Structure 1
Amino acid sequence: MTDLNELMGSPFVRVKLVAFVHYFFITNAMLGNWGHGGYEFSNFLFMIALFWTMHSKDSIESVQTALVIDASCIFFDLVFIIVYFSSMNGWAITFSIINLILRPVSVALLYREFNTRGGTLQTGSVFPTTQQRSYQDIDRPTQPTPTNNSQPGPNVASIF
């Protein structure tokens, strides 16, 4: 059992496992007639985000994107299943429901990966705050103070 915990503790295995499991269930769920392509589109974006996460091994943004898309797919998959339930075959509905049930597990694994890569949930980065932030004024760079005791030259800026 410790080997499984050690394996799941590896950052690259978590993302690959999530990608493989969802790929398997999404491809089987797409064997039905889903209507206007919303199910395919949302899951295609999720798979692209997972591939980006696997490619960018140090990127926090890639994991965050995959995490947000995966969490939003919970809602969208539920809507697609409810709307198209009567027109779907049993095979596609079964795999789409299993995929929907596995989404919270993949959200937890992606969140763990997000934390492993150094990401934190900061509300200040999304919502405005009243806290004053410092910035560098690039229009008026600060002049270094002279360290020698020589007399300063003429002030050219004062003639304008």
Structure 2
Amino acid sequence: MTDVNEIISSPFVRVKLVAFVHFIFICNAMFGTGLVGAYLFYNILFILAMFWSIHCKESIESIQTALLIDALSIVFDLICISIFFNYMNGWTITFSILNLILRPISAYLLHKEFTERGGIIPTGGQIFPIHTNNQQQQRTYQDMDRPNQPIPTNNSSPTQQNVSSIY
């Protein structure tokens, strides 16, 4: 049997493990009565973000979205459990609390995956960094709005320019 640390350190297994465990706990929490549509809504968004992270193995945005939803779900779980505690049965209470307890652990694992995919947590309190002095990030795709066409360097007059050199 392999070591648990080896399994958790594997990048693609880590995301699949978090998605599978939360899927099981969310499904079991929804078997009972008492939880509202808000609980279902943000948990469906979380599971969709996890599936997106599994599908796009190199995407930073997908894992960042899953991490953000997971972190916010801690607060949302606390609100839903505390407000609707009297209306839930024992099965729902048990699995919704277990899901809440596992959220910080999954947030840590998703943060680890985020940094391994190349994500950087912005410093200085800026969530969306502003580029100054017209600095732009290097693009990895061809921008169709700005074609890279050579500019003619000859100093001849426009009437003497060869038409075939344009095309």
What TM bracket, shorter-length normalisation?
Answer: 0.7 to 0.9
Query: Which secondary structure state, in structure 2, belongs to the residue aligned with residue 30 of structure 1?
Result: helix
Percent sequence identity is 52
* CA deviation profile, 1:48-82 (whole Å, cap 9, x unmatched): 11111111111111100100110110010110001
Give the gaps of 5 or more residues in structure 2: 137-144, 160-167
Does the 8 A contact of 2:35 with 2:80 survive in 1? Answer: no
> Deviation of residue 34 (structure 1)?
3.4
Task: Return the letter of the residue paired with 1:76.
Answer: F
1:34–1:40 Cα change, 3 Å: farther
1:36–1:6 Cα change, 3 Å: closer
Q: Which residue of 2 aligns with 1:101?
A: 101
Runs of 4+ in 1 over 3 A off after TM superposition: 141-145
1:119–1:90 Cα change, 3 Å: same
Q: Which residue of 2 aligns with 1:61?
A: 61
Give the gaps of 5 or more residues in structure 1: 156-160
Normalised to the residue count of structure 2, the TM-score between the two structures is 0.78
Does the 8 A contact of 2:35 with 2:88 survive in 1? Answer: no
Query: Which secondary structure state, in structure 1, belongs to the residue aligned with residue 40 of structure 2?
Result: helix
CA RMSD of aligned residues (A): 2.7
> Deviation of residue 144 (structure 1)?
3.8
User: Which deviates the most, 64-73 or 4-13?
Assistant: 4-13
Q: Which residue of 1 aligns with 2:128?
A: 126
Normalised to the residue count of structure 1, the TM-score between the two structures is 0.81
- 2:14 paired with 1:14: yes
Question: Map of 1:5-154 to 2, 5 A cutoff?
Answer: 5-123=5-123, 124=126, 126=128, 128=130, 131-134=132-135, 144=151, 146=153, 151-153=155-157
> Deviation of residue 154 (structure 1)?
5.2
* CA deviation profile, 1:10-30 (whole Å, cap 9, x unmatched): 111101110111111111111
